[in-house]
Amino acid sequence: MKLLYFAWMRQKIGRAEEEVAPPPDVATVAQLVAWLRTQSPAHEAAFADTRLVRCAVNQDFAGPDAPVRMGDEVAFFPPVTGG
Amino acid sequence: MARIAVQEADFDVAAEVAALSAGRSDIGGIALFVGTVRADKSADGAPVRAMTLEHYPAMTERALGAIVAEAQARWPLLGCTVIHRVGRLLPGENIVLVATASAHRQAALDAAAFLIDWLKTGAPFWKHEETEAGGRWVEARESDDAAALRWARAGAAAPVNAPDAATAGSTPPPIGVAAAQAARAGAALSEAEHKGPRFVILFLRGGGLWLERRADNDWHALQQSWPGYRTSLGPWLAEDVIAWLDEEYGPSAARAARSRAFAADPAAPTRLEIAPG
């Protein structure tokens, strides 16, 4: 599973992308976040306040209940501020 | 037809406007919005020296395409251009251009306003400001969410292809939760920590207001299953629905109690009438 990070999520994690292989019981975005928090202090800090974190699965905005599977591209980022 | 571009280079406003009407005589009006970098914008008070726009390349043009398609579905546009710059920009430089062409002014003006409101909340761009004090990421503003949401609640002009558009008069178009969802650009992930049944608020033509227990936000399906469907919000948790109703219509202990009882009873019918049409 390919993870992408943008804006301050990228800075807090310390990288723009990474490949991860979460355990098979990780089936949703929320479960993925819970697992990622345990992976390093940087992940824990970046996901500390999930009210500030948004997600896209395969380039579509996705909520916490959205399914994630091996091979997906999952992006995490703050609320968007374009325009 | 639409032109969508994400680029580092500046754009030529006059050339973009001219391109929309070149060689055609059916256009009655072109609305234009150009967003620029403002120097005095920083939240910490220091003047902004530069602004860097980051984006999610694989997703950006797709998200812009979806927003433009939504505008085209709602208004009879004869042309539409959206250009968003990325990279490091200095005060006074252009950030974004939205231009819409239509036979009549109202559609062009409304579509342009809609596009810029949705761009701010539904496309994956992030602004980073540089000041003398350092750098900071611009925070999303609730007022931007509200600006995008107003298109879900009030609508602006009946789109030509909306059901009953010809007879609906000032009836808002059936827009539904797609707008609310786009406005929030994906629900906050913390919502997973508050599990519970979700409800959609339905607005019917004639003024009827209903709740339906429903976890999905498929407004096409809602439109088909509700005669007189006008628009919808959600799906939200019961307390969020009650809070929204209190804010929109004034607090009502009786309405809140009915809504809570409805939400708490899994054996209840899936629909509850809040206000008659």
The answer to whether the CB of B5 falls within 8 A of the CB of B77 is no
pLDDT value, residue B170: 32
Shared domain for B99 and B201, answered yes or no, is no
Which one of B120, B186, B191 has the shortest CB-CB distance to A82?
B120
DSSP 3-state of B61: helix
E runs forming strands in chain A: 2-5, 17-19, 54-57, 60-62, 73-77
Confidence of residue B188 (pLDDT cuts 50, 70, 90): low
Rg (CA), chain B: 21
pLDDT tens-digit series, residues B127-141 = 999 988 889 999 887
Cβ neighbours of A37 (radius 10 Å): 16
Instruction: Round to whole Å and give the CA distance between B77 and B58.
Output: 27
Cβ neighbours of B126 (radius 10 Å): 24
Which residues have CB under 8 Å from B225's CB, separation 6+?
A: none
Q: Which residues of A touch B59 (CB under 8 A)?
A: 56, 59-60, 75
* Both tokens assigned to B217: 């936000």
Q: Is residue B124 less than 8 Å (CB to CB) from chain A?
A: yes
The answer to whether the CB of A36 falls within 8 A of the CB of A19 is no
pLDDT tens-digit series, residues B59-95 = 998 999 999 999 998 899 999 999 999 999 999 999 9
Domain boundary among B139, B159, B186: B139
pLDDT value, residue B126: 96
Nearest CA of chain A to the CA of B276: how many Å? Answer: 33
The answer to whether the CB of A83 falls within 8 A of the CB of B125 is yes
The answer to whether the CB of B96 falls within 8 A of the CB of B35 is yes
Confidence of residue B178 (pLDDT cuts 50, 70, 90): very low
Nearest CA of chain B to the CA of A58: how many Å? Answer: 8
Q: Which residues of B touch A68 (CB under 8 A)?
A: none
pLDDT value, residue B129: 93
DSSP 3-state of B92: coil
Task: Assess: ipTM above 0.90.
Answer: yes
pLDDT value, residue B156: 34
Q: What is the largest CA-CA distance in chain A?
A: 39
Q: Is residue B190 less than 8 Å (CB to CB) from chain A?
A: yes
pLDDT value, residue B85: 98
The answer to whether the CB of B208 falls within 8 A of the CB of B273 is yes
CB contact under 8 A, A54 and B55: no
Question: N- to C-terminal Cα distance for chain A?
Answer: 30
Shared domain for B123 and B32, answered yes or no, is yes
CATH number at residue B92: 3.90.1170.40
Which one of A28, A51, A75 has the shortest CB-CB distance to B190?
A51
Shared domain for B6 and B126, answered yes or no, is yes
Shared domain for B6 and B129, answered yes or no, is yes
CB contact under 8 A, B140 and A65: no
Pairing assessment for the beta strands A73-77 and A2-5 based on DSSP bridges: parallel
Q: In what order do the strands lie in the sheet with A17-19?
A: A17-19, A2-5, A73-77, A54-57, A60-62
Q: Which residue(s) pair with A73 in the sheet? A: A2
pLDDT value, residue A77: 96
Of A36-45, B107-116, B149-158, B244-253, give the lowest mean pLDDT range.
B149-158
Q: Which residues of A touch B53 (CB under 8 A)?
A: 82
Any domain includes B159: no
Q: Is residue B96 less than 8 Å (CB to CB) from chain A?
A: yes
Any domain includes B148: no
Any domain includes B160: no
Q: A71 phi and psi, to 5 degrees?
A: 90, -15
Which one of A52, A73, A82 has the shortest CB-CB distance to B125?
A82
Q: Which residues of A touch B119 (CB under 8 A)?
A: 82-83
CA-nearest residue of chain A to B97? A83
- Is pLDDT above 80 for A12? yes
Distances in Å between the alpha carbon of B37 and those of B46, B129, B183?
Answer: 14, 10, 23
Total of domains in chain B: 2
pLDDT tens-digit series, residues B9-54 = 999 999 999 999 999 999 999 999 999 998 876 667 788 999 999 9
Q: Is residue B113 less than 8 Å (CB to CB) from chain A?
A: no
Q: What residue numbers bound the domain in which B258 lies? A: 177-275
The answer to whether the CB of B233 falls within 8 A of the CB of B174 is no
Cβ neighbours of B243 (radius 10 Å): 14
Q: Which residues of A touch B126 (CB under 8 A)?
A: 6-7, 77-78, 80-82
Shared domain for B133 and B20, answered yes or no, is yes
Q: Which residues of B touch A7 (CB under 8 A)?
A: 54, 126, 128, 137
Rg (CA), chain A: 12
Q: Which residues of B touch A62 (CB under 8 A)?
A: 186
- Is pLDDT above 90 for A80? yes
User: Percentage of chain A with pLDDT > 90?
Assistant: 88
Q: Is residue B148 less than 8 Å (CB to CB) from chain A?
A: no
Q: Is residue B57 less than 8 Å (CB to CB) from chain A?
A: no
Any domain includes B161: no
- What mean pLDDT is reported for chain B? 81
CB contact under 8 A, A82 and B187: no
The answer to whether the CB of B116 falls within 8 A of the CB of B194 is no
Shared domain for B93 and B184, answered yes or no, is no
Shared domain for B182 and B118, answered yes or no, is no
Q: Is residue B139 less than 8 Å (CB to CB) from chain A?
A: yes
